[in-house]
Amino acid sequence: MKNKILGKTMIIGLVILFIGASVTVGANIDKRSSGPYQSTDIFWEENFDSYDLGSSMHGQGGWRGWDNNPDATGYVTDVQAQSSPHSVEIAWFGGTAADLIHEFTGVSSGEWIFTAYQYIPSDFSGETNFLLLNTYNDGGPYHWSNALSFSSDTGEVRSWEGETLLIIFDQWVEIRVEIDFSADWQEIYYDDDLLVEKSWTEGIEPGGVLNLACVDLYAGDASSTSVYYDDFSLDGVATDPDLDCEGTLNWIDVEPGSTVEGTFTVENAGAPGSELSWEIEYYPSWGTWTFNPESGTGLTPEDDAITVDVEVVAPDEQEETFTGEVVLVNSENPDDTCTIDVSLATPVNQQVINPLLQMILERFPNAFPILRYLLGL
Ligand SMILES: [Ca+2]
């Protein structure tokens, strides 16, 4: 009994060894692609829910008072919340205006969407302000890109230029600023209505820079009562192409010196309307390779994937398994690459195979149909 099991185990082991040596298993696609932003890349978000109720936001989550003044803070509250349980309350507290900022770094190119939700109660009194700055330092210099004022006297939100919309009281309202640094442009929406669009660097006065330095929630120059903010987000908008490829290049049982063929596809998985230029960056040094096409330009996400035909003249060596990679690259972004794994195996000597095969197939006459097929038996 023991010998029988041992014998069986040995044969199975032999078969596994045999398969491993003569057949290249696996169709492994290694896809690596990257770009500065994905289409809805969240760069930063804030919902205030994890902070202690009633706590000052100065020194929490990157928030602090203007000029690092701890008194110019807002407080975590549950009086209103869009996302439960908390929001931040902005008002005059103890004779000092809340002037709460959150700074950003690295937001200076491409396109971005800044979103905040604001709640103004119908009994609000005074003027409260939402501002974005392109330059901020404690003690200055400062430079503003926009300023929105919400006034209980007029019942309106007013942009710096004087455009207005009616305040929507007693509900959460989205404030959305769409920033395009490449065009030096911003569009400011209140409850999805366009309030104003204008230059980013000259939004308040000339001399600003292409950068988002901070958001500022300011309770105004004169005493104002509570308003609330919740669910901030800053999202990078994809504008770049993104190289993607799919396919496998695995050949087995290839006669040395013969030609084999295969295909893979290339596509642009990036932002709508973006244009991808791509090329073959690297392919194995064994064999003789031909790609058609070997590069391309102007490929948009709306286009169909490009099929690349591949021909390889196998190396003139018996009983070898050759492996490697074909690497494609975005011509305008060396970090955006895509890899297809490759293998090519030339046949092993039939004289060696046959006695072993015969033994296996005699022992298991109905087994290993794949093995029979692969070896052409
Ligand atoms: Ca919240």
Q: What is the secondary structure of 141-155 as a DSSP string?
A: --EEEEEEEEETTTT
Query: If you average pLDDT over residues 54-83, what whole number do you get?
Result: 98
- Cβ count within 10 A of residue 359: 12
CA of 231 to the centre of ligand 1 (A): 6
CA of 216 to the centre of ligand 1 (A): 18
- Asked, for residue 377, whether it belongs to a domain, the answer is no
Give the C-alpha distances (Å, rounded to integers) separating 161 from 93, 195, 199, 229, 360. 29, 10, 12, 24, 87
Q: Which residues pair with 261 in a beta bridge?
A: 311
Q: Which is more confident, 355 or 94? A: 94
Percent over 90 (pLDDT), the chain: 75
Residue 260, exposed/middle/buried by CB under 10 A (0-12, 13-18, 19+)? middle
232 shares its domain with 112: yes
CA of 332 to the centre of ligand 1 (A): 41
- 78-82, 116-120, 298-302: which has the minimum mean pLDDT? 298-302
CA of 168 to the centre of ligand 1 (A): 19
Number of domains in the chain: 2
148 shares its domain with 246: no
pLDDT at 110: 87
pLDDT at 274: 87
Query: If you average pLDDT over residues 217-233, what whole number do you get?
Result: 98
CA of 47 to the centre of ligand 1 (A): 4
CA of 13 to the centre of ligand 1 (A): 61
CA of 51 to the centre of ligand 1 (A): 10
Residues, Cβ < 5 Å to ion ligand 1:
47-49, 81, 83, 86, 230
Q: Residue 22: pLDDT above 70?
A: no
Helices (H) and strands (E) in the chain — how many of each? 3, 27
Distance, in Å, from the CA atom of 286 to the CA atom of 236, rounded to the nearest integer, reads 43
User: Pseudo-torsion of CA 246, 252, 256, 259, nearest 10°?
Assistant: -40
pLDDT at 337: 97
135 shares its domain with 212: yes
Domain containing 31 equals: 20-35+241-346
- Asked, for residue 8, whether it belongs to a domain, the answer is no
- 27-41, 99-113, 176-190: which has the minimum mean pLDDT? 27-41
- Asked, for residue 366, whether it belongs to a domain, the answer is no
- Asked, for residue 324, whether it belongs to a domain, the answer is yes
pLDDT at 35: 38
CA of 78 to the centre of ligand 1 (A): 9
Give the C-alpha distances (Å, rounded to integers) separating 128 from 74, 118, 219. 13, 11, 5
Residue 199 in 3-state DSSP?
Answer: coil
28 shares its domain with 58: no
CA 119, chain centre distance (Å): 31
157 shares its domain with 275: no
End-to-end CA distance of the chain: 32
Query: If you average pLDDT over residues 102-121, what whole number do you get?
Result: 96
Query: If you average pLDDT over residues 158-184, what whole number do you get?
Result: 97
- Chain mean pLDDT for the chain: 87
269 shares its domain with 196: no
Q: Give pairs for 303-306: CB < 8 Å, separation 24+.
A: 303/267, 303/268, 304/267, 305/246, 305/265, 305/266, 305/267, 306/265, 306/266, 306/267
140 shares its domain with 121: yes
- 30-34, 101-105, 197-201, 208-212: which has the minimum mean pLDDT? 30-34
31 shares its domain with 44: no
CA of 49 to the centre of ligand 1 (A): 5
Query: If you average pLDDT over residues 17-26, what whole number do you get?
Result: 38
| Lookup result for tokens 């302000």 | 129
Nearest partner of 43 among 179, 136, 134, judged by Cα:
179
- Asked, for residue 332, whether it belongs to a domain, the answer is yes
Q: Whole-model pTM?
A: 0.64
228 shares its domain with 253: no
What is the gyration radius of the CA atoms in the chain, in angstroms?
A: 32
Band of residue 287 on the pLDDT scale cut at 50, 70, 90: very high
29 shares its domain with 44: no
* DSSP strand pairing (193-198 vs 143-151): unpaired
- C-beta separation of 278 from 265 below 8 A: no
Give the C-alpha distances (Å, rounded to integers) separating 203 from 144, 160, 208. 7, 8, 8
pLDDT at 12: 43
Q: Residue 362: pLDDT above 70?
A: no
Contacts of 340 (CB under 8 A, 6+ apart): 29, 30, 245, 247, 248, 249, 264, 325, 326, 327, 328
110 shares its domain with 154: yes
pLDDT at 361: 63
